[in-house]
Structure formats: C-alpha cells, structure tokens
C-alpha cells in the first residue's frame, strides 16, 4: 500500500532512505534544514569499512558486511541513472603497528574476512611513499572508499528524477504534529507538512528533535577534522592507517588525512591545532607530504551513539515515528544496509538483516 512519508535529514542516511522507499513505490518528502549532503556525510573520509572493524559489536559488523557487498552495485546504478560517478574505489587497507593485531586476526578468522599479516618489505613495495619507522602490518584486500561528495550529488540527482519524491531544502523541522500518541507530520520553518509516517534521519541533530517529544535519544555531535592534499594520481595506491590516523587516496590523486575526535557540542570550526596535528600525522605516514600543500581543511559533526549502534525502526508509544540515526563514525559505511533494513521494516517485507539489535524500543 502506498503511503506518504516524511524523511527528516538530507545526509547520506536520509537521501538513501528516501531513494529506497521511493523505488519501492512510496511518496516521500525529504526535509533538510540546510542543503542536502552538506554536513557529516560530506565531511567524512568515505572508507567503506569501520576503521577498526574488530573493535565493534556484531550488530555493527552485520551492517558493515552487507553494505560492503552492496556498494559496487549501488555506485554503478547511480552512475547509470545520473551520469555522476560515486567512485567506489577498491584499494585495500593497511593497518600499521596495531596494539591489538592478534584480536584483529582472530576476528577475521571468525568472520571469514581476508585479513592477514604482511611483511614490511611487501608494504614498502606496494606503498613506496610510506614512512620507514613502522615495524608491523596487516592488510585487508578489497576494502573500498567512496568519494562521498560525489555519492551525495548522485543520490540528490537520482531523487530529482523521481516523480514521487519532493526534496525541500532550507526547511528546518521544529516540532512534530501529534494527535495523542500518533505522529501526523511535522512543523517546519515553511509551515506544516503531514504524512502517514515520519522518519528521523537527522544525524547529530536527531536527539534535539526527539527532545521536543520528551524523548532522550543518546545521540550527540562529535567533531572530526580532516585535511586534503593533491598529489600525483599514483602517489598512494592503498589506504593506510596508523596511530588512529588514516590516509585515503582518491582516483585523481587527492589524499584525505583524518581525523580528530572532539566532544565540543555543535561547534564545527576548523582549528589550527588540529591542522598541525593532522599534517604531522600525514608526514609521519607519508614523508613526501612535507612538500605538499594542504588544499582544504574542514570539520564535521558525527552522530555519536552508544557503541556506535544506530537506531533503526519504529519508536514505541509514538505511532508513525521511525528512526534511522546514530551511526557515529560509520554513516557512509553502514548506509546501504541501514536504509534497506528501514525500508523492509516500513513496508513489512522480510528484513535483509535481523532488526533486533537496532530497534529503538528499550534503548532510550
């Protein structure tokens, strides 16, 4: 049965939720307080894996594995539909001098993931620009990164072609329209918008919105800063990660280095301290970057949640209210699985994954 739905939030979770619901025949209004794709989704690095996948719960792992398998076809589909290439770029990922290397390898064996020790001679042959002071490495082939600004542009362009989708930007949602326990829509800066169901996918701002209903959702902003270099296209063939910092190559030679983790509320001002710290990490990883110019420095606000496990599903006691939020550092990583699961649950189809770990009921 076709229903009218509102999705609040135009990051990757909101855009992809809208896309999948609309492809399934629903009428969707996407409301975004600023411009779509301009917050955390744009600001992230786009690695299609948690930075340290073995440190997460099975709930996060399940979403990550499903999404990793789905990303190549999502990239191809969006490119075909819009002519915009999200650049799903398989490079593999090297972790250097890990403290919990044994745990990582044990996790890989349990999960059937291709992750193994490699000699430093192998690493230096594969990544000639790598610094000399590292002594151990493990490598996972097949790990991709996605060029997140391109992915967001492609999703936005795909939605523009769908007659059953309306995207309204610069339209902050201020409160919900209620009739007893039923949610009938939202109040916005541009007036009332009514629907059968409302999905909150507002990232770090989701908690503020649910507070208007007296609900305490433990999702809060955590600032992350990144820098960008431009190098030769073959400068960095694989992603590398050491001492909680990473370098990500794009196909055109851009190198992203990140990131900080700062609990400073909704302040996303880039700072000189972070710039210097990130640049020092970059040079330690890849000494040739000492001669490269930082072409961009920015910050975004991740939607932190307990254990990084997102909230996906209906909110009990508030009929018609649904969540898809709280993805912390892994919004881009987990988006395909999270949005597929939400769509399956909303349309009462067989779910792609077990929904129990993400259900909002009993978690706040």
Residue 238 has pLDDT above 90, yes or no: yes
Per-residue pLDDT at 97: 97
CATH domain 93-141+220-304 topology:
D-Amino Acid Oxidase; Chain A, domain 2 (3.30.9)
Q: What is the mean pLDDT of residues 110-124?
A: 96
Residue 198 has pLDDT above 80, yes or no: yes
Give, as one character, the DSSP assignment of residue 151.
H
Per-residue pLDDT at 3: 80
Residue 191 has pLDDT above 70, yes or no: yes
Per-residue pLDDT at 17: 98
**Rounded distance, CA 277 to CA 285, Å?**
12
Residue 341 has pLDDT above 90, yes or no: yes
Mean residue pLDDT of the chain comes to 96
H/E segment holding residue 17: helix 12-23
Residue 58: pLDDT band with limits 50, 70, 90: very high
**Rounded distance, CA 250 to CA 211, Å?**
39
| Residues 272, 69 contacting (CB under 8 angstroms) | no
**Where would I find the beta strands (DSSP E) of 51-188?**
89-90, 93-96, 116-118, 137-140, 144-145, 165-168, 173-179, 182-188
**Rounded distance, CA 107 to CA 128, Å?**
29
Confidence (pTM): 0.96
pLDDT over 90 percentage in the chain: 98
Per-residue pLDDT at 105: 97
Per-residue pLDDT at 71: 96
The SS3 assignment for 144 reads strand
Every domain of the chain and the residues it spans: 4-56+150-219+306-358, 93-141+220-304
The CATH classification number of 4-56+150-219+306-358 equals 3.50.50.60
Residue 99 tokens, joined: 């403290």
pLDDT, tens digit (0-9, with 9 covering 90-100), for 262-273: 999 999 999 999
Give Cα 4 distance to the centre of its chain: 26
Which residues, 6+ apart, have CB-to-CB distance to 67 below 8 Å? 48, 333, 334, 335, 336, 337, 338
Residue 1 has pLDDT above 80, yes or no: no
Residue 305: pLDDT band with limits 50, 70, 90: very high
No. of helices (H) and no. of strands (E), the chain = 9, 19
Q: What is the mean pLDDT of residues 288-296?
A: 96
Per-residue pLDDT at 61: 95
**Rounded distance, CA 279 to CA 290, Å?**
8
Q: How many C-beta atoms surround the C-beta of residue 65 within 10 A?
A: 17
Residue 350 has pLDDT above 80, yes or no: yes
| Residues 117, 105 contacting (CB under 8 angstroms) | yes
Per-residue pLDDT at 292: 95
Residue 343 has pLDDT above 70, yes or no: yes
Q: What is the mean pLDDT of residues 67-87?
A: 97
H/E segment holding residue 145: strand 144-145
Give, as one character, the DSSP assignment of residue 47.
B
Q: Which residues of 212-250 are buried (b: 16+ CB within 10 A; e: fewer)?
A: eeebebebbbbbbbbbbbebeeebbebbbbbeebbbbbb
| Residues 48, 143 contacting (CB under 8 angstroms) | yes
pLDDT over 70 percentage in the chain: 99
| Residues 32, 156 contacting (CB under 8 angstroms) | no
């Amino acid at each position: 049965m076709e229903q009218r739905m509102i999705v609040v939030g135009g990051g990757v979770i909101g855009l992809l939720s809208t896309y999948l619901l609309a492809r399934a025949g629903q009428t969707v209004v996407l409301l975004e307080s600023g411009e779509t794709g301009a917050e955390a989704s744009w600001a992230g690095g786009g690695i299609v894996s948690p930075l340290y996948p073995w440190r997460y719960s099975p709930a996060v792992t399940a979403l990550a594995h499903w999404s990793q398998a789905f990303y190549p076809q999502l990239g191809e589909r969006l490119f075909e539909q819009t002519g915009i290439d999200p650049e799903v770029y398989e490079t593999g990922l090297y972790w250097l001098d890990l403290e919990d290397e044994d745990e990582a390898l044990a996790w890989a064996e349990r999960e059937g993931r291709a992750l193994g020790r490699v000699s430093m001679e192998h690493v230096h042959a594969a990544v000639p620009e790598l610094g000399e002071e590292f002594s151990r490495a493990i490598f996972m082939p097949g790990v991709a990164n996605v060029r997140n600004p391109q992915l967001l542009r492609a999703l936005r362009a795909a939605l523009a072609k769908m007659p059953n989708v309306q995207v309204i930007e610069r339209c902050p949602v201020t409160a919900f329209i209620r009739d007893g326990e039923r949610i009938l829509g939202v109040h916005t800066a541009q007036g009332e918008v009514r629907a059968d169901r409302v999905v909150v996918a507002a990232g770090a701002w989701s908690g503020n919105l649910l507070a208007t209903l007296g609900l305490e959702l433990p999702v809060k902003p955590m600032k992350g800063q990144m820098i960008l270099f431009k190098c030769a296209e073959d400068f960095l063939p694989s992603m590398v990660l050491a001492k909680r910092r990473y370098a990500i190559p794009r196909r055109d030679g851009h190198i992203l280095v990140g990131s900080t983790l700062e609990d400073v509320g909704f302040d996303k001002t880039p700072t000189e301290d972070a710039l210097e710290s990130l640049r020092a990490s970059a040079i330690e990883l890849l000494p040739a970057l000492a001669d490269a110019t930082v072409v961009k420095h920015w910050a975004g606000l991740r939607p932190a949640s307990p254990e990084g496990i997102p909230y996906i599903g209906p909110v009990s006691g508030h009929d018609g209210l649904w969540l898809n939020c709280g993805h912390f550092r892994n919004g881009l990583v987990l988006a395909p699985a999270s949005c597929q699961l939400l769509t399956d649950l909303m349309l009462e189809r067989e779910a792609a994954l077990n929904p129990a770990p993400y259900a909002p009921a009993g978690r706040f």
